[in-house]
Chains A and B, each alone.
Chain A
Amino acid sequence: MGSIWEYANPVKFIRTSEIVLPWVSILATVTLIAGLVWGFFFTPDDYRQGSTVKIIYLHVPAALMAINVWFMMLVTSLVWLIRRHHVSALAAKAAAPVGIIMTLIALVTGAIWGQPMWGTWWAWDPRLTSFLILFLFYLGYIALWEAIDNPDTAADLTAVLCIVGSVFAVLSRYAVNFWNQGLHQGASLSLDKKENVADVFSTPLYVCIAGFVLLFIALVFLRTRTEIHKRRTKALLARERLG
């Protein structure tokens, strides 16, 4: 088995993605559909929240992904800053639009869920506010990539932005623990069985989380490959112009 750094070679990455992508895509589709169908059609209502509990199958996986996509971007950004592997910088760039959509789903489903349960679409609650800031960091990160022509400079600056934004990714996860106030409840899934939601809700929730993770992996493979193709096209066009 070769080193993980072999995948920093764009050709090796593309070859691997050609093999892995179809399987991960199929697995992601099947898992996501199974989890959502199970959660929507075959789980009971909660005795307090009624049928709104079914929103958990979208809200929790999307929120988990919103935070963890940023951490994946942090790791690949650090790899770029330390080892200067272009594929890692492109993987971070490729992941950001997926992360912002996950954050948006978490915010929108949270607002829709919050309205009947809390009586308001929005509150400046620690977790909600840190999630909104995380969303703005995603926006800024994507805008920074688009604003800078030189790809290496863009990769450097976005990597620094990613490190700074990680503070808010941590806050989004642990805001409820830092400030024991606000409307948002604590973690729905915990290693402490007493804090966890009932198995009838948590089992399909785990399936949905697996579906979201697999979807993310498939999209990052696809989008990173796209970025590599774009980079190669740009390089060939520049070479043509030089004669």
Chain B
Amino acid sequence: MMPDLGKYGDTVLSAYAVSIVLLVIMVALSIRASRKARAELQKIEGRRNG
């Protein structure tokens, strides 16, 4: 399944690893910040309405 990357195997794999890690971190942090901001707003709106 894994393609034969020849002598550049480390080069190609490290480029993919760094990029995918950066993309995953960016998505995860964005989702976490979104959930936190929404929860804080709901808490305050709940306090005002209740």
Contacts and interface: CB of A to CB of B under 8 A. Distances in A.
Interface of A: 36, 40-41, 45, 50-52, 54-55, 58-59, 62, 97-98, 101, 104-105, 108-109, 112-113, 115-116, 215, 219, 222-223, 225-227, 229-230, 232-233, 236-237, 240
Given A223-B33, A223-B34, A58 B8 contact: no
A232 B38 CA distance: 10
A109 B19 CA distance: 8
Contacts of A62: 19
A226 B30 contact: yes
Contact of A112 (B18, B22, B30): B18
15 contacts: A51-B4, A51-B9, A54-B16, A55-B11, A55-B12, A97-B30, A101-B22, A105-B23, A108-B22, A112-B15, A219-B26, A223-B33, A226-B37, A226-B38, A237-B44
Nearest to B39: A229
The 4 closest A-B pairs by CB, nearest first: A229-B37, A51-B5, A58-B19, A226-B34
Given A51-B8, A226-B30, A112 B14 contact: yes
A97 B32 CA distance: 14
Contacts of A222: 30-31, 34
A108 B19 CA distance: 8
A101 B8 contact: no
Given A105-B22, A105-B23, A58 B15 contact: yes
